Chain A
């Protein structure tokens, strides 16, 4: 079995038309033509005529949940979500940024997506490794079964094994490259603060110039802010012009949060984000 992208695209268009026509939603967040086939873009359909510009192929990696918070509260939105993206939607509902009843979720089961910059296949190494969306109203394609289930955290083993000095050397080298274009936070569906803490002058949390310590402060704090919230879509790393493997750190934090608090981000609408929650019987062992 393989993913029939064309079929998904057709179904996406049919659904989008239906939804827009019936006035059930005022916008459809999905994918549209880019400057060439390999470079599709996030696309917002507002009118019936927009639907023709929609596409879906293996390069449609963007997490459309990122755009949800851009529209006024109460806007009726249909959104196309891949597995990780659906978790972002759930997480945003948990955080009361959007309401479930304002959304029509068009689920897309996928594997074998490709990074449009490198052409590499995207798998559990850089994303959450799921094949089917966690939540949807309509599924644009067949549920994927029979694909190998790989833990999204397997990729961490190599880094966890490292000696702490080596790990520091690794992160220093990676983070030192950061040019502070903030594509990571802008591509992130969960980063919706405006202004971001690092943009502030009072307090000035970290240096604003792209040097080691400011970069470190920005990224570490961002990892913390996303603890228990990161849905492991991997968009931050794909957005990064200098290819910093931010996903590794996010995965590590997500893994630890899952182990400590027994809950993964964006899996259940009823959950409360782990870091603004507690259990009286949380063990002190988590501090050791």
Chain B
């Protein structure tokens, strides 16, 4: 059976989530591997959410926010850009394939971009295969002396 990755999406309420809705309203088709968490602003995303998502078995994480300059909260995404850039570097240095984490600016009017990004990202994560490095095994590991 083909590998179907689990992808976590974290989308800001005002742009990307609305853009995702627009993709739906215009009946654009995209892969169903993405599961979206709605937050009010991309700046709400605590980097640990992303580390945790990978630990919980996410094969990829896609973050969506307003275009820089268009943030509903003025500057939220500008902070988010810096923080998520660091998150990316940390993941990469820890050995996670950089292709598993992506930040995209998708506005409320870019339903088609949302669908395109999801399609492309899903394909990319599929090629990378299952993410096993951070993933917590169900069985608690052996005791440590």
A205 vs B55: C-alpha distance when bound (angstroms): 11
Say yes or no: A224 contacts B90, CB within 8 Å: yes
B133 in the interface (beta carbon within 8 A): yes
Q: Out of B51, B85, B136, B140, name the residue touching A221 (CB < 8 Å).
A: B51
Binds B, one of A70-78, A108-116, A183-191, A271-279: A271-279
Q: From residue A271, how far is it (CB to closest CB) to chain B in Å? A: 14
A205 vs B51: C-alpha distance when bound (angstroms): 10
Say yes or no: B48 contacts A224, CB within 8 Å: yes
Say yes or no: A205 contacts B92, CB within 8 Å: no
Kindly list chain B residues whose C-beta atoms are within 8 Å of the C-beta of A223: 90
Kindly list chain B residues whose C-beta atoms are within 8 Å of the C-beta of A206: 48, 52
A216 vs B134: C-alpha distance when bound (angstroms): 8
Say yes or no: B47 contacts A164, CB within 8 Å: no
Say yes or no: A211 contacts B140, CB within 8 Å: yes
A-contacting residues, B71-110, CB 8 Å: 75, 78-79, 81-90, 92-97, 103, 105
Say yes or no: A287 contacts B85, CB within 8 Å: yes
**Given A164-B92, A252-B93; A221-B81 close (CB under 8 Å):** no
**Given A164-B97, A221-B48; A280-B68 close (CB under 8 Å):** yes
Say yes or no: B51 contacts A253, CB within 8 Å: no
Say yes or no: A278 contacts B75, CB within 8 Å: yes
Say yes or no: B86 contacts A256, CB within 8 Å: yes
Say yes or no: A278 contacts B48, CB within 8 Å: no
**CB nearest neighbor in A for B84:** A287
B24 in the interface (beta carbon within 8 A): no
Say yes or no: A286 contacts B140, CB within 8 Å: no
Q: From residue A256, how far is it (CB to closest CB) to chain B in Å? A: 4
What band does the interface of chain A fall in when counting residues whose beta carbon is under 8 Å from B?
35 or more
Q: C-beta contact mask, B119-145 vs A, less than 8 Å → 1, else 0? A: 000000000000001101000110010
Q: Out of B81, B84, B86, B94, name the residue touching A167 (CB < 8 Å).
A: B94
Q: Out of B85, B89, B103, name the residue touching A252 (CB < 8 Å).
A: B89
A227 vs B82: C-alpha distance when bound (angstroms): 10
Kindly list chain B residues whose C-beta atoms are within 8 Å of the C-beta of A159: 93
Say yes or no: B78 contacts A280, CB within 8 Å: yes
Kindly list chain A residues whose C-beta atoms are within 8 Å of the C-beta of B68: 280, 282, 284
A99 in the interface (beta carbon within 8 A): no
B69 in the interface (beta carbon within 8 A): yes
A240 vs B133: C-alpha distance when bound (angstroms): 24
B-contacting residues, A188-232, CB 8 Å: 197, 205-206, 210-213, 216-217, 220-221, 223-224, 227-228
Kindly list chain A residues whose C-beta atoms are within 8 Å of the C-beta of B55: 213, 216-217
Q: C-beta contact mask, A120-133 vs B, less than 8 Å → 1, else 0? A: 00000000000000
**CB nearest neighbor in B for A167:** B95
Say yes or no: A171 contacts B95, CB within 8 Å: yes
Say yes or no: B52 contacts A205, CB within 8 Å: yes
**CB nearest neighbor in B for A219:** B94
Say yes or no: B48 contacts A217, CB within 8 Å: yes
**Given A197-B48, A217-B51; A278-B82 close (CB under 8 Å):** yes
Say yes or no: B83 contacts A275, CB within 8 Å: yes
Say yes or no: A220 contacts B94, CB within 8 Å: yes
A257 in the interface (beta carbon within 8 A): yes
Q: C-beta contact mask, B42-77 vs A, less than 8 Å → 1, else 0? A: 000001100110010000000000001100000100
Pick 27 A–B contacts, CB within 8 A, sort by A: A164-B92, A164-B96, A166-B95, A167-B95, A168-B95, A211-B140, A213-B134, A217-B48, A217-B51, A217-B55, A221-B47, A221-B48, A224-B83, A249-B90, A252-B93, A253-B89, A260-B85, A276-B79, A278-B75, A278-B82, A279-B78, A280-B78, A282-B68, A284-B105, A286-B81, A286-B82, A287-B84
Binding site for B on A (CB under 8 A): 159-160, 164-172, 197, 205-206, 210-213, 216-217, 220-221, 223-224, 227-228, 249, 252-253, 256-257, 260-261, 274-280, 282, 284, 286-287
